[in-house]
Amino acid sequence: MQYFSDERQRRQRMRPWRKAALVFVFLWFFIGGFAHFVFTDAEVRIVPSYVPWPHEAVLVTGVLELLGAAGLIWHATRRAAGWGLFLLTIAVTPANIAMLQNAESFDVPYALLVARLPFQLVLLWLIVWSTTMDRRRGHRSGRL
Residue 31 domain-assigned (yes or no): yes
Give the pLDDT confidence score for residue 5 in this predicted structure. Answer: 52
Cβ 25 vs Cβ 130: under 8 Å = yes
SS3 134: strand
Residue 142 domain-assigned (yes or no): no
Low-confidence ranges of the chain (pLDDT < 50): 1, 4, 7, 135, 138
Asked whether the whole model's pTM tops 0.75, one would answer yes
Residue 69 domain-assigned (yes or no): yes
Q: Which amino acid is at 107?
A: D
Give the pLDDT confidence score for residue 2 in this predicted structure. Answer: 53
Rounded to 10 deg, the angle between the 75-101 and 54-73 helix axes is: 150
Residue 39 domain-assigned (yes or no): yes
Domain that holds residue 112: 17-131
Give the pLDDT confidence score for residue 98 in this predicted structure. Answer: 92
SS3 88: helix
Residue 12 domain-assigned (yes or no): no
Residue 4 domain-assigned (yes or no): no
Give the pLDDT confidence score for residue 61 in this predicted structure. Answer: 97
Give the pLDDT confidence score for residue 6 in this predicted structure. Answer: 52
Number of domains in the chain: 1
Residue 9 domain-assigned (yes or no): no
Q: What are phi and psi of 143, to 5 degrees?
A: -90, 155
Residue 40 domain-assigned (yes or no): yes
Q: How many whole angstroms separate alpha carbon 45 and alpha carbon 58?
A: 10
Give the pLDDT confidence score for residue 9 in this predicted structure. Answer: 53
Give the pLDDT confidence score for residue 29 in this predicted structure. Answer: 98
